[in-house]
């Protein structure tokens, strides 16, 4: 919702009324316009702050959209990578024991000076 102000605080401040013999008291008019001016100044400053906040939030949204796209791509890669895992491929104690044994062999080979990943 955009705020459309007819007057600016500067216009209110610089407004001059012609003198009238049976018109309003100029001091009362000045006091009243000062109140209006304070309100207008507050509205203008809040409007500018809100606009800056909106711009900052829009920039954050764009940044998050880019991050989301990167994560979508990464998710697709992982889905493709793990697509061959079957529902029957459950972790069992036998599997864990085999992984522990493989880890021991790799550690032994690494201590011997061989890189287990380079052995085929």
Instruction: Please give the C-alpha separations between residue 19 and each of 10, 16, 28, 34, 49, in angstroms, as whole numbers.
Output: 21, 9, 13, 19, 38
pLDDT in tens, 53-64: 888 999 999 999
Put simply, whether the predicted model's pTM sits higher than 0.85 gets the answer: no
The answer to whether the CB of 12 falls within 8 A of the CB of 33 is yes
Instruction: Please give the C-alpha separations between residue 85 and each of 71, 80, 98, 100, in angstroms, as whole numbers.
Output: 21, 10, 18, 21
pLDDT in tens, 77-88: 888 888 877 766
């Amino acid at each position: 919702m955009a705020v459309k102000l007819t007057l600016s605080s500067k216009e209110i401040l610089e407004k001059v009324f012609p003198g009238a013999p049976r018109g309003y008291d100029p001091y009362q008019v000045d006091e009243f316009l000062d109140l209006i001016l304070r309100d207008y100044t507050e509205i203008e400053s809040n409007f500018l702050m809100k606009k800056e906040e909106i711009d900052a939030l829009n920039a954050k949204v764009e940044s998050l959209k880019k991050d989301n796209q990167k994560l979508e791509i990464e998710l697709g890669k992982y889905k493709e990578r793990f697509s061959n895992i079957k529902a029957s491929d459950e972790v069992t104690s036998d599997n864990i024991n085999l992984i522990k044994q493989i880890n021991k062999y790799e550690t032994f080979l690494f201590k011997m000076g061989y890189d287990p990943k380079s052995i085929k």
